A and B are shown apart, each in its own frame.
Chain A
Amino acid sequence: MKVISAIATHSFREILGTRILYSIIAYAALVMLFAILASQWTIGEEVRFITDMGLGAMLFLGLVLVITRGAVTLSREIEKKTVLVMLARPIHRWQFVVGNFLGMGLVLLLLVFSLLLVLVLILLPMGGAVSWPLLGAAWGVFLELLMISAVALLASNLSSPVLATLITLLVFLAGHMASNLHVWISQAGDLKDLHLPESMLQVAQAYQSGPAHWFLQAAYYLLPNMAHVNFKMNAADAISIPGARLVAGTVYAFVYSIIATWISIAIFGRRDMR
């Protein structure tokens, strides 16, 4: 535990640097700018608009951080041989991976929390309030980033930094379509909810059984279903998030992240550190 906390603290500091500070300033400036513009664009819905904008920017900034730092962590450490000094110490490799992941998670938590603070400080004078849905949505953003950083860690274990970044981005995008994929492969009746054109509906119906069905099913479970932790709609429309949904989303995100880290450990534990 001492080893993991030492590595986590270290990787937290290493990622943090000065970058986070810049992100927060950029974010605050961005949201402020939109806050000023918003009153001209929307009529009577400034608070909602800034909330949506703020949560969207939070996710975006987190993603940038995960991709620029997380997706390259391991491959960069291996490339620059910093990892050799660490692994030559009396530590297990899994401790190194877990420590790195926790460090990243800590940074993301700090990022989301700080940005939420900035957002609230902008919203309060405009008549906004610190509501449970807003806090829930921010928590959801954190969970989403956590899953993505677990994927990034895994990807950086498998390939070069550039490819790892690409894989991470693709998983992020696909993860947001995972719920659509789920409807595609589940009951045909639900397909009507998708409002698909007739031609696509026929294609979708073809995926209801057989090997194609199993393939898509596997793809669905491989991807993080971001809809489980997406509470932005609740924040926008001030609808309380059912406790069960919040808990389920949280558990899902943690389990998914643990699985991805688990696989990372297996790969990292066996590879030769060149």
Chain B
Amino acid sequence: MSRITSAAIWLAGLALLVFGLIMIDGRATNLHPSADPMEKCVELNSATLSMLSVGNRPLVADYLWIDAVQYLGKTLAQHHHEIIDGKVVCVGFPAEKLDRAAEIFYELANRTVEVDPHFTYVHYMGALFLNDPHTDPDRAVNLLHTGILNNPKDWQLRFWFAYLNLMLKRDRETALEHMKLAAEMEGCPQFVLDIRDRLFTAPDRQLATMFLAGMLQKARSEMERKRIRQQMDELDSGVDLRQLLHDHHAHDHDHHHGHD
């Protein structure tokens, strides 16, 4: 009996050590300069992780979200834009790497909501950071769209979806449709109704400020507030960064063509 017990304890200890080794190995791999979270995502898909969590799916979602937030802190949240001599200058993070960073963050956020489709904050917050002039606007819109499909009764997701439709897609009809729905939902604050009513009368810039002010009011974390203020500042500068970047890009392209 005592031999069996000690053998069992020995085995359990060994298993624990092996498990610890694997965990440390994972962390160490992340510290390699070439580490790419995409690789990890592919290795452990959400279904496998959920199965391994023995009934703690939300915790797996939390883990993935923490991963995503850490990645976010190292990339997308690092930079801001300044306009110097009519050119958009990206400060704090190399502009050319922003799109790739957004792609990886988008992937991580998607993994998270795959595990927990009702983790609305991921949709909401993810879209906030994915809305960057240097990156593909569709990712932010897509993330919110899946969020709405998964949580049709969340006013905040629809509100934010309406904003992106208005500002990125210039689609006032879709924006109105979702603002109307948002206004009917439980817990919807007054400013949603105000913005809905003025959607076709107020100028875009004023509407955008109202949207962002509303979001700021409901913000839950410092990181979120900082990001919203940053977007408000960019709005105040009076320049449409995305348009400006697009123009630059088109110009460069033309220039390039000219030499051929």
Q: Do chains A and B touch in the complex (CB under 8 A)?
A: yes
Residues on A lying within 8 angstroms of B by beta carbon are 41-45, 48-49, 51-53, 55-56, 59, 79, 144, 160, 162, 165, 172-173, 176-177, 180, 194-196, 226-227, 230, 232-233, 235-237, 239
A180→B51 CA distance, assembly (Å): 8
Asked if A160 contacts B55 (CB within 8 A), the reply is no
Pick the contact of A42 from B1, B45, B69, B219 — CB < 8 Å? B69
Closest to A137 in B: B58
Asked if B120 contacts A237 (CB within 8 A), the reply is yes
Stretch at the interface among B60-68, B80-88, B94-102: B60-68
Pick the contact of B116 from A79, A160, A165, A237 — CB < 8 Å? A237
Q: How many residues of B contact A (CB 8 A)?
A: 32
Asked if B69 contacts A41 (CB within 8 A), the reply is yes
Known: A42-B69, A176-B51. A52 touches B56 (CB 8 A): yes
Count of inter-chain pairs, beta carbons less than 8 A: 93
Can you list 22 A-B pairs with a CB-CB distance of less than 8 A?
A41-B69, A43-B221, A43-B223, A44-B220, A44-B224, A48-B121, A52-B56, A52-B59, A52-B61, A53-B59, A59-B56, A160-B1, A162-B8, A165-B8, A172-B54, A177-B51, A196-B47, A226-B55, A232-B59, A233-B118, A236-B58, A236-B61
CB distance from B154 to the nearest CB of A (A): 10
| Interface status of B93 (Cβ within 8 A of chain A) | no
Closest to B70 in A: A41
Pick the contact of B5 from A162, A173, A227 — CB < 8 Å? A162
A196→B223 CA distance, assembly (Å): 37
CB distance from A242 to the nearest CB of B (A): 14
| Interface status of B57 (Cβ within 8 A of chain A) | yes
Closest to B66 in A: A41
Most buried by A among B47, B51, B56, B61: B56
B222 partner residues in chain A, CB cutoff 8 A:
43
| Interface status of B191 (Cβ within 8 A of chain A) | no
Known: A43-B223, A44-B224. A59 touches B55 (CB 8 A): yes
Asked if A56 contacts B56 (CB within 8 A), the reply is yes
Closest to B5 in A: A162
Closest to A176 in B: B54
B120 partner residues in chain A, CB cutoff 8 A:
237
Pick the contact of A160 from B4, B47, B125, B223 — CB < 8 Å? B4
A52→B64 CA distance, assembly (Å): 13
A196 partner residues in chain B, CB cutoff 8 A:
47
Known: A194-B47, A236-B116, A236-B119. A42 touches B65 (CB 8 A): yes
Known: A195-B47, A237-B116. A43 touches B69 (CB 8 A): yes
Asked if B55 contacts A45 (CB within 8 A), the reply is no
Closest to A234 in B: B118
A32→B51 CA distance, assembly (Å): 27
A43→B11 CA distance, assembly (Å): 39
Closest to B47 in A: A195
CB distance from B81 to the nearest CB of A (A): 21
A41→B116 CA distance, assembly (Å): 18
A176 partner residues in chain B, CB cutoff 8 A:
51, 54-55
Asked if B58 contacts A195 (CB within 8 A), the reply is no
B45 partner residues in chain A, CB cutoff 8 A:
195
